[in-house]
Amino acid sequence: MKSKIYVNEIGYRPNDRKVAIYCGKDAVNFQILDKTGACVLQKVSTESRYNPSTENYEVKCDFSEIKENGEYIVKVADEVSVPFVVGEDIYNHSVKSLMRFFYLQRCGTELTKEFAGEYAHPSCHNTPARIYGTDIFREVNGGWHDAGDYGRYIVAAAVTLAALFHAIENDESLLKVDMQIPESGQAMPDLLTEIRYELEWMLKMQDEATGKVYHKVTCAGFCDFIMPEYETEELVICPFSLTATADFAACMAMAVKFYAPYDKAFAERMAEAAKRAYAVMREIQVPGGFLNPEGVVTGTYEDKYELDEQYWASAEMYKAFGDELYKNEFENYVNQEVMHGYGWEDVASFGNLAYLSTSYPTDDKIADKLRKAIVDKADALMKKYEANNYEISFDEKDFIWGSNMYIAENGSHLFDAYKITGKDEYLIAAREHINYIFGKNPCNVCFITGAGTNQVYNPHHRPSAAVKKAMLGMLIGGPDSGLHDPDAVRDCAGLAPALCYTDKLLSYSTNEVTIYWNSALLMLMAQVLS
């Protein structure tokens, strides 16, 4: 539905702030109509303001007074928004679908029609994989397909699980969600069961002799848009990397406390794996970081700056085990520079949270330095939030590949400041980042597949393409002004940065999905909606 009025297409909880955006050069009278067409509120918008990100003028229509459960639309003259709902439980379905995505990405096992529907498939990628440059084969079955492709990458896996663990810590009700997976109904909650499926694969990627961790396992190149069982080229395990080994150590250390109550032996196995990886991570020194070896062209997850991974690992190791070595190493990093980031490339914020939440002794000056840096970062984001008509912490330079991940991450940074200061403005701003993703954006689309009125139908995702139906519950990458693929060039050339999105199968730079984009959104939602 084309409209010049943008709202959260799922809706709003009764007591949340509610703002629609209308594209226009002047302030407008707007109405809120209920399902019967009756006007339940009439107001005047804000004055219009030019937006460099869209190269348009826009106004804000605040209808926060609407608190009664029901279905509504926003009306300006002859223009109407998509219908949306006001209700307390409006996000339940979306949260469940975002979580079920991980099950549907399972590799190395059969997905049956009972649990996967049209995305069912036999076991895939279940042959031994060759260690690159050798004639040695290794069994590394399992884990989740990373994105629109069928590769499995340690760096992506670790940051995905870190975000999911934080989601659980902020909203334990996630552990009660029936994810409709084969293991549902057992003592271990479904989400922890699903995460364990990824952890078991990660453990297979650690070399028994050295403790180092292989970077990824993929075929040498990308396959066509086929179901996973039809990708039968040789699997290749790529060399060890510092980033993979440090991220592995951090993730395994985080996982220990979640699994100890259910499976003590598994928790101890992860603790040992974390300690071994941490002890050897710095031995893997490659100038410029990991790069694909010759002949391999799948996702690289290259990272030329590897200190933040070690920063994160040291903090998680201290939080989990209390060893002074880990504490001293993290504090030495902080004394040099406080780092931030919740993405696969910049992971340091996970370390900051680990240090500030450990039950072991910490240095008050270090803790205060971290809190100040977190609030300073949030204040910088707040300036962008206040300047952006869509109330996200972006300016025109921020619409890059995976922009929706950064939207979610920035919301989490704002939430961190709320937790430290108790100031509601940070929490309110963080929630607006969710509204953007669910439809209050200039692309006039809900960026979660299967949700909202204006849906994404053609994600860059092989199972979806193979069955000709978008899998539910996937966060799409979103606008990328870099125009990194031919469809983006064709459809978005000349458009303002915030509009550089196209719902095309081959637009991998704007329309792909990944496990860690889903987890970033779930982490934010667990923080600001619980």
Domain covering 115-348 assigned CATH 1.10.10.10 in the classification: no
Mean pLDDT of the region 346-366: 98
Q: What pLDDT was estimated at residue 382?
A: 98
Per residue in 17-68, pLDDT tens?
999 999 999 999 999 999 999 999 999 999 999 999 999 999 999 999 999 9
Q: What pLDDT was estimated at residue 184?
A: 97
Q: What pLDDT was estimated at residue 351?
A: 98
Residue 530 pLDDT > 90: no
Q: What pLDDT was estimated at residue 188?
A: 98
Per residue in 450-506, pLDDT tens?
999 999 999 999 999 999 999 999 999 999 999 999 999 999 999 999 999 999 999
3-state secondary structure 142-174: CCECCECCCCEEHHHHHHHHHHHHHHHHHCHHH
Mean pLDDT of the region 10-15: 98
The residues assigned a catalytic role are 149, 460, 503, 512
CATH of domain 1-90: 2.60.40.10
CB 488 within 8 A of CB 510: yes
Residue 128 pLDDT > 80: yes
Residue partners of 96: CB distance under 8 A and separation at least 6? 177, 179, 473
Q: What pLDDT was estimated at residue 120?
A: 98
Q: What pLDDT was estimated at residue 174?
A: 98
Percent of the chain with pLDDT over 70: 100
Buried-state track 9-44, b at ≥16 Cβ within 10 A, e below 16: bbbbbeebebbbbbbbeeebebbbbbeeeeeebeee
DSSP per-residue codes, 196-226 = HHHHHHHHHTB-TTT--BB-EEE-SS---S-
Binned at pLDDT 50, 70 and 90, residue 2 comes out as confident
Q: What pLDDT was estimated at residue 408?
A: 98
Residue with tokens 């196995």: 269
CA distance 371 to 394: 23
- For residues 288 and 383, which has the higher predicted lDDT (pLDDT)? 383
* CATH 2.60.40.10 intervals, the chain: 1-90
Q: 472 in helix, strand or coil?
A: coil
Query: How, if at all, do strands 129-131 and 236-237 pair?
Result: parallel
Q: What pLDDT was estimated at residue 288?
A: 84
Per residue in 232-279, pLDDT tens?
999 999 999 999 999 999 999 999 999 999 999 999 999 999 999 999
The class that CATH gives domain 363-530 is mainly alpha
**Torsional class of 133: left (φ above 0), alpha (ψ -120 to 50), beta (otherwise):** left
Range list of β-strands (E), 312-469: none
* CATH 1.50.10.10 intervals, the chain: 115-348, 363-530
Mean pLDDT of the region 96-112: 98
Residue 1 pLDDT > 80: no
CA distance 505 to 501: 12
Per residue in 502-519, pLDDT tens?
999 999 999 999 999 999
